[in-house]
Amino acid sequence: MSFIEVKQISKTFRVAKKKSGLKEAFKSFIKREYLDVVAVDDISFSIEKGEIVGYIGPNGAGKSTTIKILSGILNPDSGECKIAGMTPWKERVKYVKKIGVVFGQKSQLWWDIPAEDTFDLLKDIYDIPEEEYQATKKDLIKRLNLEDIINIPVRQLSLGQRMRCEIAASLLHNPEILFLDEPTIGLDAVSKQLVRDFIKKLNKEKKTTIILTSHDMSDITTLAKRIILIGKGKVLYDGSLKKLRDKYDTETHVNIRTKDKLSIRKKGITSKNKTRDGYELVVNTKILSISELLMNLSKKILIDDIDIEQDTIDHIIVKLYEDYKI
Amino acid sequence: MKAYITYFKLKFISGLQYRSAAWAGIATQFFFGFVYIMVYIAFYKSGGKDIPLTLSQVITYLWLNQAFLALINQFTRDQELFNMVREGTISYELARPKNLYFMWYFKVLGQKLANVTLRFFPLVLITSLLPKPYGLGGPASLSCFILFLICLTIGSLLVTALTVFYPIITMFTLSEKGIVNLMISLADIMSGLVVPIPFFPLFLQKISKVLPFQYISDLPFRIYVGSMPTTIIINSMIIQFTWLIILIFLGNFLMKKSLKRVVVQGG
């Protein structure tokens, strides 16, 4: 039995359907039509303790819905789920003591008062013993670099500062599982890096199980070894990031700076473009290895500079979405 | 329990920050107080028959209405809770290991008490210094005053229970407009905020007796001015307390029911 076991979970939302226009507006006043939207459709997976799992998918795929079911907020229509031996939505109050959640698009901090006051409130909500609370708080303040901002009313904080406080607020009770729903949304590069490093360390040192959703693939690549891809409510891929790379990441871009004229025709080179000061080749590395290409090139021309770039994970994801037609 | 008290405390502290809103509120309440009083003075001068309260009793009642308005009314809604439902911040509330109904209950109570703390004192002070018959009179007797304090305390708990109902209903209707607004207007009329209950036509008085609304402020204020015999006071206070228990129980039940079908969209 794994730490997190999800079995055939489904959830359907009922949405009122309304066509535009005055006539339709009157019609819907009398008789409403509903549309059933399947947000999560028969999802199963299991996660071991201490894993970091990237949960990805396009907008509206059902990511947040899954997170909300797993964190006990929503009741699924059917299916089973056991996390740390409990069913989240049935034993909500007992269960949520063990988890922490961060919703990047929402705020849990009180707007009018400094973050530290919200922390004090959370201490009472989670019944954290005073000593443990002080120690955890001190540790989080140090790691997330909060000393200067913790006493400023939250409404005056920047987004990056606020998000760091949000993350700290979710970890005061030392949860075993952390759900991060788009934790880096809208953050600048520095804040993103800080948040990622922090999450990585947390997982390493405290063995916190982390489930992460993000549209920023560099979040996923730096943090998660395993990803679960969902689309239209179904699990499409569940496995290591490396395997996904091997399968899809076959194209490499080679930028060559040269003054010479290059004519090369070889199996494996999918395209050749002239650039301002050289050429750009796209190579299928399964057919033509980079070293072979380089040997070939160096015989023909004088290379001033060369830049080899793997396909970015974003490209892979786009391809994946296209493949699965989501 | 400690968590709920902290909730209350935080809401109280943040509520106290809105001082200019309080001053504006005080000014409005003075204005309305005087308008109401003028109307009743004209009414008494025209010499109606069977008037249930004396003029100075009515004026005291009206000033008490204004002084405690922030506490006893249901129309200043806690936007935070409605926004929580509409924007989905409720997700965070649900991720807490506490009873959501009581978290909201103490939030609303904190908010109401903060609002009334900022407003009632200047009003009571100034209106009690006004010349007769315009001013706020003292309590009818010491025992009336003690009963008034107890009754108003239960009344505040009662109005809080009612106020928490509206965001819960919003979880079903998704918008606080419509049915919730209608209910709030009705509630305000039936609590005696527009016209004191003793001036209601008899059939309306009978209806208001079986509804919870008159037990919020009308009952304590009538005790204060001494227009009620003791036996009726005791009976009414028993009904008041029973309503409090029923409403808290019902609110808690409705909240649990709504959470089963809660839908959190977007993000």
What's the pLDDT at B264? 57
Burial class (CB in 10 A: 0-12, 13-18, 19+), B105: buried
pLDDT above 50 for A133: yes
Q: Please report the DSSP string for A133-190 in residue order.
A: HHHHHHHHHHHTT-TTTTTSBGGGS-HHHHHHHHHHHHHTT--SEEEEESTTTT--HH
DSSP A105: T
Instruction: Give how far A127 is from chain B: nearest CA, Å.
Output: 8
Query: Averaged over B35-40, what is the pLDDT?
Result: 90
Residue B229 — very low, low, confident or very high, per pLDDT cuts 50/70/90?
A: confident
Lowest mean pLDDT among A14-18, A78-82, A138-142, B249-253: A14-18
Instruction: Specify the higher pLDDT residue, A219 or B174.
Output: A219
Instruction: Give how far A72 is from chain B: nearest CA, Å.
Output: 7
**Does residue B1 belong to the interface with chain A, where contact is any CB pair within 8 Å?**
no
DSSP-derived 3-state class of residue A17? strand
Interfacial residues of A (vs B; Cβ cutoff 8 Å)? 13, 64, 68, 71-75, 92-94, 96-97, 99, 101, 103-108, 110, 112-113, 117-118, 120-121, 124-127, 181-182
Chain A environment of B261 (Cβ under 8 Å): 75
Of all residues in chain A, the percent with pLDDT exceeding 90 is: 29
Q: Give residue-wise pLDDT tens across range B203-215.
A: 999 999 999 999 9
What residues form DSSP beta bridges with A256?
A: A279, A306
pLDDT above 60 for A36: yes
Query: Averaged over A256-269, what is the pLDDT?
Result: 81
Chain A environment of B266 (Cβ under 8 Å): 64, 105
DSSP A109: S
What's the pLDDT at B238? 95
What ranges do the domains of chain B cover? 2-260
Of all residues in chain B, the percent with pLDDT exceeding 70 is: 95
Mean pLDDT score of chain B: 87
pLDDT above 80 for B188: yes
Task: Output the pTM of the full model.
Answer: 0.81
pLDDT above 90 for B246: yes
Instruction: Give how far B178 is from chain A: nearest CA, Å.
Output: 13
Facing A97 at nearest CB: one of B7, B92, B97: B97
What's the pLDDT at B146? 94
**Does residue B174 belong to the interface with chain A, where contact is any CB pair within 8 Å?**
no
Q: How many CB atoms lie within 10 A of CB B131?
A: 6
Q: Does residue B135 contact residue B57 with C-beta atoms inside 8 Å?
A: no
Token pair, residue A198, equals 């922090």
Instruction: Specify the higher pLDDT residue, B176 or B39.
Output: B39
Contact: A75, B267; criterion CB under 8 Å? no
CA distance A244 to A237: 9
What's the pLDDT at A270? 81
What ranges do the domains of chain A cover? 4-246, 250-310
Instruction: Give how far B10 is from chain A: nearest CA, Å.
Output: 8
Query: Averaged over A135-159, what is the pLDDT?
Result: 91
What's the pLDDT at B266? 46
Contact: B10, A64; criterion CB under 8 Å? no
CA distance B212 to B158: 8
Backbone angles phi, psi at A149, to 5 degrees: -110, -10
Contact: A103, B267; criterion CB under 8 Å? yes
| CATH fold label, A4-246 | Rossmann fold (3.40.50)
The interface pTM score, or ipTM, of the predicted complex is: 0.74
Q: What is the β-pairing status of strands A99-103 and A177-181?
A: parallel
CA distance B197 to A230: 61
Instruction: Give how far A76 is from chain B: nearest CA, Å.
Output: 9
Backbone angles phi, psi at A185, to 5 degrees: -65, 125
Facing B17 at nearest CB: one of A103, A108, A112: A112
Token pair, residue A312, equals 């970015």
Residue B258 — very low, low, confident or very high, per pLDDT cuts 50/70/90?
A: confident
Query: Averaged over A39-68, what is the pLDDT?
Result: 88
Lowest mean pLDDT among A201-205, A225-229, A306-310, B235-239: A306-310
Lowest mean pLDDT among A21-30, A219-228, B216-225, B251-260: A21-30
Torsional sign, CA A311, A314, A319, A324: positive
Query: Averaged over A99-108, what is the pLDDT?
Result: 89
Residue B177 — very low, low, confident or very high, per pLDDT cuts 50/70/90?
A: confident
Residue A28 — very low, low, confident or very high, per pLDDT cuts 50/70/90?
A: low
Lowest mean pLDDT among A99-103, A131-135, B254-258, B262-266: B262-266
Q: Give residue-wise pLDDT tens across range B64-86.
A: 999 999 898 887 777 778 877 77
Element (H, E) at B163: helix B142-173
Backbone angles phi, psi at B262, to 5 degrees: -65, 140
Backbone angles phi, psi at B256, to 5 degrees: -60, -40
Residue B183, C-beta contacts closer than 8 angstroms, at least 6 positions apart? B166, B169
Instruction: Specify the higher pLDDT residue, B149 or A25.
Output: B149
Instruction: Give how far A92 is from chain B: nearest CA, Å.
Output: 7
**Does residue B175 belong to the interface with chain A, where contact is any CB pair within 8 Å?**
no
Q: Give residue-wise pLDDT tens across range A58-101.
A: 887 888 889 889 988 888 888 999 998 899 888 888 899 999 99
**Does residue B141 belong to the interface with chain A, where contact is any CB pair within 8 Å?**
no
Q: Give residue-wise pLDDT tens across range A230-256.
A: 888 888 889 888 887 777 767 788 888
Mean pLDDT score of chain A: 86
pLDDT above 80 for B192: yes
Query: Averaged over B6-24, what is the pLDDT?
Result: 83
pLDDT above 60 for B54: yes
CATH architecture of A250-310: 2-Layer Sandwich (3.30)
pLDDT above 60 for B232: yes
Residue B176 — very low, low, confident or very high, per pLDDT cuts 50/70/90?
A: low
